């Protein structure tokens, strides 16, 4: 009997102790919750990135403005794999300037600095789609905010769009206490996230508010005065009015690569003769730009004005850069990474009945010579995947333009 009572007493004491521990845990949780409510939400420590501390940081304010707009206005692309948001806060609205030409380009954080010489040379509307890889969203936005604040020409002329991969949480990832910095010297393609170049091109084109667009790569620079010369050409020919002939014409701009950046065609010819400049991709894929007919273009007589000089019938695998109305077909967004992303759209122009007209003295310059060793390791694998997709794309064009006799070969 005594042992039975002792056993029951021990059990009762254990129960009391357990109950007290449970009450203690509940009280601690309530206390912690109260403390959290009194602690402000942590903000990104921008000062640690730029060596600043205290006071109102204008870059932080610009970043907050970007983020506030993104969180209210992002949408998904048609694949459901990417978020898209137009960053129009504190940037110029070109709605009243449709009779112009927008320079359209795209990049990741790695190439944001290339926008500075572009804006300086163009001095007109620029639409840029910026891609942030997974885990780099806040770093990319921070660098973009810094650039938008510190470069007056980008402040005046640029419209930015922001694109980033969809995560499990959706929207932007949580705001970090300290925004990390990453290596910004790597290729766009040398990362886990596929680089959606055609989605970015379309995003930037949709944000452009002018009649004409000029889609180029971010590491290229147009010749001096190209925008002004083309606007004079368009005005002389009444191209800003409805023109059915113009609707099916694109204006080819010959592309070059080199170790210097000539401003005019005269300077370019001298640089070509000196071996400092050569036609774009001449050592990697001569056929990709050979149909521009560089020899004929270089020998064209000097002319005071920018004028159309000769037409070129499209042939595979020509992929010229060109100025066009913004109504031309968009890019197929299934193409990502390296290979066939631009030529697929140029091929569609041909099948749809467009004419390619080369302008006499305008050109594009790529910084540096293109070399095989500069490519990322997965290039050949991506090329093969996109080659198969391109074959499928060409078959689809036959159905889309059933009445056209033109083909992509």
Most confident of 3-17, 33-47, 318-332: 318-332
DSSP state at residue 340: S
Per-residue pLDDT, averaged over 84-109, amounts to 80
Measured in degrees and rounded to the nearest 5, phi and psi for residue 33 equal -65, -45
Per-residue pLDDT, averaged over 90-110, amounts to 80
Quick check: 397 pLDDT over 50?
Answer: yes
* CA separation for the pair 170, 82 (Å, rounded): 10
Q: What is the pLDDT of residue 385?
A: 77
Question: Reduced to 3 states, what is the DSSP secondary structure of residue 71?
Answer: helix
- C-beta separation of 100 from 94 below 8 A: yes
For the stretch 127-141, pLDDT in tens is 999 999 999 999 999
Quick check: 214 pLDDT over 80?
Answer: yes
Q: What is the pLDDT of residue 179?
A: 86
Q: What is the pLDDT of residue 48?
A: 40
* CA separation for the pair 139, 84 (Å, rounded): 17
* CA separation for the pair 177, 268 (Å, rounded): 49
Kindly indicate the confidence band of residue 19, based on its pLDDT and cuts at 50, 70 and 90: low
Kindly indicate the confidence band of residue 75, based on its pLDDT and cuts at 50, 70 and 90: very high
For the stretch 310-322, pLDDT in tens is 999 999 999 999 9
Quick check: 5 pLDDT over 60?
Answer: no
Paired residues of 106 in beta bridges = 129
Q: What is the pLDDT of residue 167?
A: 81
Q: What is the pLDDT of residue 284?
A: 86
Kindly indicate the confidence band of residue 45, based on its pLDDT and cuts at 50, 70 and 90: very low
Q: What is the pLDDT of residue 51?
A: 41
The residue ranking higher by pLDDT, 89 or 268, is: 268
Question: H or E stretch including 85?
Answer: strand 82-87
The two tokens of residue 100 are: 């112009």
Question: H or E stretch including 355?
Answer: strand 355-359
Give how far Cα 4 sits from Cα of 8, 11, 395, Å: 6, 11, 88
Quick check: 1 pLDDT over 80?
Answer: no
Quick check: 203 pLDDT over 80?
Answer: yes
* CA separation for the pair 116, 288 (Å, rounded): 28
Q: What is the pLDDT of residue 405?
A: 95
- When mean pLDDT is compared across 1-15, 258-272, 307-321, 367-381, the lowest value belongs to 1-15
Per-residue pLDDT, averaged over 368-383, amounts to 69
The torsion defined by the Cα of 391, 282, 222 and 163, in degrees rounded to 10, comes to 40
pLDDT above 70: percentage of residues in the chain? 77
- C-beta separation of 107 from 114 below 8 A: yes
Strand pairing of 277-279 and 255-258? antiparallel
- C-beta separation of 320 from 357 below 8 A: no
Residues whose CB is less than 8 angstroms from the CB of residue 403 and which lie 6 or more positions away in sequence, other chains included: none
Q: What is the pLDDT of residue 31?
A: 35
Kindly indicate the confidence band of residue 29, based on its pLDDT and cuts at 50, 70 and 90: very low
Per-residue pLDDT, averaged over 400-404, amounts to 96
CA 168 to chain centre: 23
pTM attached to this predicted model: 0.83
- When mean pLDDT is compared across 93-102, 152-161, 307-316, the lowest value belongs to 93-102
Cis peptide, bond prior to residue 317, ω within 30 of zero: yes
Quick check: 286 pLDDT over 50?
Answer: yes
Q: What is the pLDDT of residue 193?
A: 82
For the stretch 168-193, pLDDT in tens is 567 899 888 888 776 555 555 455 68
Q: What is the pLDDT of residue 387?
A: 86
Kindly indicate the confidence band of residue 409, based on its pLDDT and cuts at 50, 70 and 90: confident
* CA separation for the pair 108, 162 (Å, rounded): 10
* CA separation for the pair 158, 202 (Å, rounded): 16
* CA separation for the pair 373, 335 (Å, rounded): 23
Burial class (CB in 10 A: 0-12, 13-18, 19+), 330: middle
What does pLDDT average to over the chain?
Answer: 84
Residues whose CB is less than 8 angstroms from the CB of residue 177 and which lie 6 or more positions away in sequence, other chains included: 42, 43, 44, 45
């Amino acid at each position: 009997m005594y042992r039975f009572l002792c056993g029951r007493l021990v059990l009762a004491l254990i129960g009391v102790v357990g109950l007290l521990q449970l009450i203690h845990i509940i009280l601690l949780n309530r206390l912690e919750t109260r403390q959290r409510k009194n602690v402000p939400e942590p903000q990104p420590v921008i000062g640690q990135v730029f060596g600043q501390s205290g006071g109102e940081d204008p870059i932080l304010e610009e970043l907050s403005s970007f983020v506030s707009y993104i969180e209210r206005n992002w949408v998904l692309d048609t694949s459901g794999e990417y978020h898209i948001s137009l960053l129009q806060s504190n940037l110029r609205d070109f709605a009243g300037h449709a009779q112009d030409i927008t320079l359209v380009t795209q990049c990741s954080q790695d190439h944001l600095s290339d926008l500075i010489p572009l804006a300086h040379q163009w001095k007109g509307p620029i639409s840029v789609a910026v891609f942030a890889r997974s885990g780099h969203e806040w770093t990319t936005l921070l660098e973009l905010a810094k650039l938008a604040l510190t470069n007056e020409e980008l402040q005046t002329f640029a419209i930015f769009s922001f694109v980033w991969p969809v995560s499990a949480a959706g929207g932007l990832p949580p705001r970090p206490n300290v925004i990390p910095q990453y290596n910004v010297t790597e290729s766009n393609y040398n990362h886990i996230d596929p680089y959606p170049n055609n989605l970015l091109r379309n995003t930037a084109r949709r944000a452009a508010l002018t009649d004409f667009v000029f889609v180029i790569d971010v590491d290229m620079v147009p010749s001096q005065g190209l925008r002004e010369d083309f606007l004079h050409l368009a005005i002389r020919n009444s191209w800003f009015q409805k023109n059915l002939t113009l609707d099916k014409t694109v204006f080819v701009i010959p592309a070059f690569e080199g170790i210097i950046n000539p401003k005019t065609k005269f300077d370019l010819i001298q640089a070509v003769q000196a071996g400092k400049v050569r036609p774009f991709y001449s050592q990697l894929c001569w056929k990709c730009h050979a149909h521009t007919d560089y020899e004929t273009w270089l020998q064209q007589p000097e002319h005071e004005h920018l004028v159309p000089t000769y037409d070129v019938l499209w042939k595979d695998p020509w992929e010229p850069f060109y100025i066009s109305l913004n109504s031309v077909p968009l890019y197929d967004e299934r193409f990502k990474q390296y290979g066939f992303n631009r030529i697929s759209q140029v091929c569609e122009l041909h099948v749809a009945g467009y004419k390619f007209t080369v302008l006499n003295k305008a050109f594009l310059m790529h910084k540096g010579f293109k070399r095989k060793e500069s490519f990322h390791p997965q290039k050949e694998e991506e090329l093969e995947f996109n080659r198969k997709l391109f074959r499928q794309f060409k078959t689809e064009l036959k159905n889309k333009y059933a009445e056209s006799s033109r083909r992509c070969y």
